[in-house]
Amino acid sequence: MANLVIVEHDNNEVAAATLHAVTAAQQIGGDIDLLVAGENCGAVAEAAAKIAGVSSVKVADDAKFGHHLAENLATLIVEVAAGYSHVLASATTFGKNVMPHASALLDKAQISEIVEVKSPDTFVRPIYAGNALATVQSSDSIKMITVRTIKFEAAAAEGGSASVEAISGGTDTGLSRWVSQAVSNNDQVDLTSAKIVVSGGRGMQSGDNFSMLHSVAEKLGAAVGASRAAVDSGFVPNELQVGQTGKVIAPDLYIAVGISGAIQHLAGMKESKVIVAINNDSEAPIFQVADYGLVADLFEAVPELDAAL
Amino acid sequence: MKILVCVKRVLDPQVKARVKADESGVDLANAKMTMNPFCENALEEALRLREAGVGEEIIVASVGGGKTEETLRHGLAMGADRAIQVVTEETLEPLAIAKVLKQVAEQESVGLVLAGKQAIDDDSNQTAQMLSALLGWSQATYCSEIKIEGDKATVTREVDAGLETIEVKMPAVMSADLRLNEPRYVKLPDVMKAKRKPMDKIELDSLGLDTANRLTTLKVEEPEGRAAGVIVNSVSELVEKLRNEAKVI
């Protein structure tokens, strides 16, 4: 068996999500090689070679991979995948975008968002917003897999000494062109890796009121998240959304403020170690998953919490 | 430009999925079913493109058994011009669905395929990307804004880091995110009108495609539930418990 992990990166750094995909590959067993495709991404390849447990790093440094456009990157994955039994990527918007494209070119099924490796051909994956877990066995010669990061520990970023090999290949399909990326201008804690997350929902009533949550988050070293309702209402940008179709996170402490707890939201945070719910509606479903519930007006409770920290 | 909108019939998002006692799957007998919410966004976008003069005929297509027709009728009531049901009682995987939709897209000579980014039942998030690969067309997933001008489209995508804008050549396959638009409500006269709109039925077997499943579902089980928590009476009690009991702050 041999695993190929597609490295997610910004041409400077390896994304933390990739370390979790490496761990999934370790559980499958066999050699682990990494594929770094990008433009001027030498630093990424060097860092990738230090990840514990990795045999070799293949680097395709070419302008056509600069922005990880799915059509181009998939043609490279198809060429490299031929020598592997398993191809893995993290189930982030990067992995979710390119892996099905490559899978179809290879005429292989994709196994999305695995949460457990049962054996090299059998995996567990959540369906129905995590309300059911399906155990599936693949008959394909190459298993194409995306990995739900919260269910696999991060591999050690240091300690390995993999060989680095420059490769060429892939096609510039000319189908898509990257134009721009708008990232919210903040230096706050990363939502997906934060130990503590303070999330707001529709009950926050406005984007301005999120400043209360930011203040609490700052004291706790926490990230700020949101429910879909808060994002749809324009209170906060889309990248803060936690849920079935947003980010799936599992911090040590998740504080849900003014969030009712729809199935779709619970899917994104119910694996958190400790859940706190603050809501004025004692019937809100969020209280069914909360370890500590406080039935209160958030506009009184949150400032009080802020003062107590 | 003809637009193909791919839609899926799924368990209503407000209904909690119940696993069957024999662990063979989720119990859908007598469950409330609807059009997958993301597919509604895709169809709504097609309707708006037609209203803006960019799109012409809108074809709504789905792959499935008997009651799939209800979902397609809903699409017709929203405003699609005609429907295609590829009939099978088998539950196909995204790769097989993409192969079927490729044939439909080519036979109908469409210039754009719109789909939902993810079906909320199997949460695969694959079909649009696979269809793009099989057609060799541009791919734009998780769209929150689509502007089509001539043979190019500018698309804003919702990605983990924020919003990414790309330009794609047409024809293209695009998948809709929830903030792309607010799907319209269907009025009763539209439902009546939808009954008279054309609905083609194509037997899956007649397409001559390899649609065999590659995955075998060994079992479907419920996840472990969380233990019941406690209600605290004050912020100070909450802070005390987080510090001394849970030890997380």
- Is the predicted pLDDT of residue A100 greater than 90, yes or no? yes
Q: What is the pLDDT of residue B138?
A: 98
Instruction: Let me know if residue A174 belongs to a domain.
Output: no
Total count of domains within chain A: 2
Radius of gyration of chain A (CA): 21
CA dist B116 and B6 (Å) reads 8
Q: What is the mean pLDDT of residues B230-236?
A: 97
User: B53-62: per-residue pLDDT in tens?
Assistant: 999 999 999 9
Contact at 8 Å (CB) between A16 and A192? yes
Domain match, A7 and A135 both: yes
Cα–Cα distances in Å, from B82 out to B7, B37, B40, B74? 13, 20, 16, 11
- Domain with residue A268: its CATH number is 3.40.50.1220
Residues A151 and A19 occupy one common structural domain: yes
- CATH number at A118 reads 3.40.50.620
Residue at a domain's end among A110, A145, A166: A166
Domain edges within chain B: 3-244
Q: State the nearest Cα–Cα gap between A163 and chain B, in angstroms.
A: 30
Chain B CA closest to residue A230: B179
Residue of A nearest to B171 (CA): A175
Beta bridge partners of A9: A14
Angle in degrees, 0-180, between the axes of helices B235-244 and A298-308, rounded to the nearest 10: 50
Q: Which domain holds residue A156?
A: 2-166
pLDDT tens-digit map of A128-172? 999 999 999 999 999 999 999 999 999 999 999 999 999 999 999
Q: Report which of A278, A286, A274 is spatially closest to residue A304, judged by C-alpha positions.
A: A278
A232 within some domain: yes
Question: For the whole model, what pTM was predicted?
Answer: 0.96
Question: Rounded distance, CA A52 to CA A157, Å?
Answer: 6
Position A194 scores a pLDDT of: 94
State which CATH number among 1.10.3720.10, 3.40.50.620, 3.40.50.2000, 3.30.70.1140 fits the domain covering B3-244: 3.40.50.620
Got the DSSP string for A14-48? B-HHHHHHHHHHHHH-SEEEEEEEESS-HHHHHHH
Given a cut of 80, is residue A187 above it in pLDDT? Answer: no
Q: How confident is the model at residue A182 (pLDDT cuts 50, 70, 90)?
A: confident
- Is A185 domain-assigned? no
User: What crossing angle do the helices spanning B94-107 and A93-105 adopt, rounded to 10°?
Assistant: 70
Residue A63, pLDDT above cutoff 60: yes
pLDDT at B225: 87
CB-based contact A28:A84 (threshold 8 Å): no
Subunit contact A104:B214, Cβ cutoff 8 A: no
Distance separating alpha carbons of residues A241 and A224, to the nearest angstrom: 10
Interface contact flag, A294 B94, Cβ < 8 Å: no
User: Under a CB-based contact definition with an 8 Å cutoff, are residues A98 and A70 in contact?
Assistant: yes
Domain-located, residue A260: yes
Do A142 and A257 fall within a single domain?
Answer: no
Say if residue A132 is in the same domain as residue A277.
Answer: no
Summarised one tens digit per residue, pLDDT across range B164-178 is 999 999 999 999 999
pLDDT at A185 over 60: no
Give just the sign of the alpha carbon dihedral A97, A100, A103, A109. positive
Q: What is the ipTM of this complex?
A: 0.97
CA dihedral A280, A285, A289, A294 (to 10 degrees): 10
Q: Is the pLDDT of residue B105 over 90?
A: yes
- Residues of chain A with pLDDT > 90, as a percent, come to 96
Peptide bond into A237 cis (omega under 30): no
A161 in the same domain as A231 = no
Distance of CA A170 to the CA centre of its chain: 26
> Would you state the pLDDT for residue A188?
73
Q: Are residues A11 and A159 in the same domain?
A: yes
Rounded Cα–Cα distance for residues B10 and B217 (Å) = 18
How far away is chain B from the Cα of A305, in angstroms, using its nearest Cα?
Answer: 6
- What is the H or E stretch that residue B203 is in? strand B199-203
Answer yes or no: do A12 and A125 share one domain. Answer: yes
What does the mean pLDDT of chain A come to? 96
CA A52 from centre of chain: 20
Instruction: Write the pLDDT tens digit of every residue in A75-92.
Output: 999 999 999 999 999 999
Contact residues, chain B, for A131 at CB < 8 Å: 16-17, 222-223
**pLDDT (tens digit per residue) in B10-30:** 999 999 999 999 999 999 999
pLDDT in tens, B76-92: 999 999 999 999 999 99
pLDDT tens for residues A101-111? Answer: 999 999 999 99
